[in-house]
Structure 1
Amino acid sequence: MSIPMRCPTCGKRAFDTSGFHQGNQPIVITLKCPQCGRFVEVPIAQDMRLPVRKGGSRAQSMNR
């Protein structure tokens, strides 16, 4: 199951992950966001997950 993760800068989908880190220190991924083009640090944590669309399983942008 792919979990869409959002960019902390633009709020749009940056990448997908297969699960979350279960420790007290989350894993942090540094990447260039394909949406805004900035280098960002994204913690693999539940609060960085994109919300599920109503009536479906695909992610939606938080910037509507």
Structure 2
Amino acid sequence: MKVTIDADRCVASGMCAYSAPEVFDQSEEDGVVVLVQDSPSADQHEAVRTAARNCPAQVITLDQ
């Protein structure tokens, strides 16, 4: 799995960091998503899918 984000469209809800904290974080300045890991391990895939599904701005793209 390959993860990409569009930080310019992020609304800083924090759902990604809450759902998959090993893969996503938030900027301390403005709360915008920060991609920590763009190729998560298999055991993190479901959490990453949940994060993408729950993102209100739909800024997370997953390439299987």
TM-score bracket relative to the smaller structure: under 0.3
TM-score by length of 1: 0.24
TM-score by length of 2: 0.24
Q: Higher strand fraction: Structure 1 or Structure 2?
A: 1
Q: Higher helix fraction: Structure 1 or Structure 2?
A: 2
Higher relative CO (Cα under 8 Å, sequence separation at least 6) belongs to: 2
